[in-house]
């Protein structure tokens, strides 16, 4: 059944509505960043760039590095933006935009998020790199999609809910595993890995106290104290769980690499975030283009 114009929304030039690109502009390897200004900080290392476009906070560059075609796109902050960008990227890959019909041959995409994050343990110092083996989401996004439970790690979810005494007025936490292939590709002695928690906001949901008091007030301690077998929650940010969940449900693969710019346990913040993020970008691109 073809998609109605109100569901599959296109611009007058035939590009997908928010991302503002056409299927031929999308590479199979997609790097996502939150900050629109970070797109050019990734693409400056490409050997060639074939496309540059922007609509609102979504900036897209497609090019090649060492013969490998890549798209880098900014999502903005938060899982609500991830829902928009990833839904549209999957549509570009797997829906005929002219007819609105799902294509008979599935096109699989590989997503790598290059982001910044806060660490929960002193052993993950600022300026280090952490890979998310799993995403732990507090945002509730996946609960809006039928069949999402098949892609969730329910044993880890239940263990966390029991351990934390989770408030049932909040969205139920969910856990989705990242791509093992991408994890192995990006892992080295320069990286650590663990569960990346995804908060629904930056202040209260991450335990920051300005004028409004967070509830619970010890969120960092709760997250840092949880373990499941050899897994622990290493860091948290605002996008990874939705990236993992939507990618898994759509048949794609995804992994998040994060540069630690704040260590909440030590109370430290990177003295040069631009330099640290740039080193992470170079590290990841070398692995991805090898």
**Domain spans in the chain, listed from the N-terminal domain onward:** 23-289
Reply yes or no on whether the pLDDT at 277 is more than 90. yes
pLDDT of residue 5: 84
Helices (H), 173-272: 180-186, 219-225, 240-250
pLDDT of residue 157: 97
- CATH code given to domain 23-289: 3.40.50.1580
3-state secondary structure at position 119:
strand
pTM, to two decimals: 0.96
Band (4; pLDDT cuts 50, 70, 90): confident
Which 8-state DSSP code applies to residue 9? -
Question: Which percentage of the chain shows pLDDT scores above 90?
Answer: 97
Question: Which percentage of the chain shows pLDDT scores above 70?
Answer: 100
Mean pLDDT, to the nearest integer, of 85-98?
97
Q: If 0-12 CB within 10 Å is exposed, 13-18 middle and 19+ buried, where does residue 8 land?
A: middle
Q: Tokens 């496309």 belong to which residue? A: 51
pLDDT of residue 247: 98
Encode pLDDT of 5-63 as tens digits. 899 999 999 999 999 999 999 999 999 999 999 999 999 999 999 999 999 999 999 99
What are 49's two structure tokens?
């760039």
């Amino acid at each position: 059944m073809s998609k109605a114009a109100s569901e599959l929304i296109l611009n007058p030039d035939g590009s997908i509505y928010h991302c503002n690109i056409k299927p031929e502009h999308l590479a199979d390897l997609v790097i996502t960043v939150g900050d629109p200004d970070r797109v050019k900080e990734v693409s400056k290392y490409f050997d060639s760039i074939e496309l540059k476009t922007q609509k609102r906070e979504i900036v897209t560059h497609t090019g090649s590095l060492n013969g490998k075609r890549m798209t880098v796109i900014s999502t903005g902050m938060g899982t609500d933006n991830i829902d928009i960008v990833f839904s549209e990227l999957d549509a570009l890959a797997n829906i005929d935009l002219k007819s609105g019909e799902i294509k008979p041959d599935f096109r699989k995409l590989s997503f790598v998020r290059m982001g910044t994050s806060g660490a929960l343990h002193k052993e993950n110092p600022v300026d280090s790199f952490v890979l998310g083996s799993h995403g732990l989401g507090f945002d509730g996004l996946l609960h809006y999609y039928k069949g999402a439970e098949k892609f969730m790690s329910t044993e880890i979810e239940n263990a966390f809910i029991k351990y934390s005494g989770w408030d049932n007025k909040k969205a139920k936490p969910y856990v989705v595993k990242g791509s093992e292939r991408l994890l192995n590709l990006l892992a080295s002695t320069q990286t650590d890995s663990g569960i990346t928690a995804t908060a629904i906001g930056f202040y209260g949901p991450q335990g920051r106290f300005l004028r409004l008091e967070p509830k619970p007030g010890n969120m960092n301690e709760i997250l840092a104290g949880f373990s499941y077998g050899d897994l622990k929650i290493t860091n948290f940010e605002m996008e990874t769980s939705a990236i993992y969940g939507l990618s898994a449900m759509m048949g794609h693969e995804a992994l998040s690499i994060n540069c630690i710019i704040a260590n909440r346990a030590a109370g430290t913040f990177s003295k040069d975030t631009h330099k640290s993020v740039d080193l992470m970008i170079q590290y990841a691109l070398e692995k991805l283009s090898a």
